[in-house]
Amino acid sequence: MEQGEFIAPKNNVIDFSEVRAGFTPALPKIPASLMGQVIAFFRAFMTESEENEALALIYWDKVKKEFFAYVPKQSVCKVEIEANLHDCPYDDAERYICYADIHSHNSMDAFFSAKDDSDERSTGLYFVLGNLDKFYPDIKARIFCGDTFVPIDPDTVIEGLEHQFPEEWLQQVTIRRKKNEKQVVEKKRGLLDMLAEVGL
């Protein structure tokens, strides 16, 4: 698909058992700055008196070659979202690609609920963010393809911790091992050599 290559296992089909399930994106990674905006939006529904879930959709603009977020009309509560996905201004396949569905679990853990399983039945990318009361929230990601959900590493599609740092920083660090740690390593190596000699 335009989003990328979706691969999911099919029950009782062993001919392609060596094919690895997952997702290979055809687009760049979702910018960290855009994810920051989505997280800030989700946190706006967490107050001292109550907290609620919320939903945002990530689109790719084929003309501008960039991602953006769209928030549909929705009715929310602590554990549920009812979204109106009709009349979206970006339902134009010639110009836009609906890339990912992201919803929040406020201060709850990031996990896909039974309702999520019933709602997220179109081939695509799905994210859930949890523990939004912490400095770094948790995120879970998966794809749906061929009637199967497959977990994926969020780093596959979202900018994360792969930022570069100055090379000279590495030169400032010397790795020092404790004496007993060195002895343990040497003992392990000695045991492996002995086992190799006896053919084990």
163 domain-assigned: no
The reported pTM is 0.78
- 90 and 184 housed in the same domain: no
CATH number (domain holding residue 119) = 3.40.140.10
d(CA 108, CA 45): 13
| Collapsed DSSP state (helix, strand, coil) of residue 166 | coil
pLDDT, tens digit, 9 for 90 and up, residues 40-59:
999 999 988 999 999 999 99
d(CA 61, CA 65): 5
* pLDDT of 190: 66
- 105 and 184 housed in the same domain: no
pLDDT, tens digit, 9 for 90 and up, residues 9-45:
766 555 555 557 788 888 999 999 999 999 999 999 9
124 CB contacts (<8 Å, ≥6 apart)? 3, 98, 99, 100, 101, 143, 144
> For residue 22, how far is the Cα from the chain centroid?
12
| Radius of gyration (C-alpha) of the chain in whole angstroms | 23
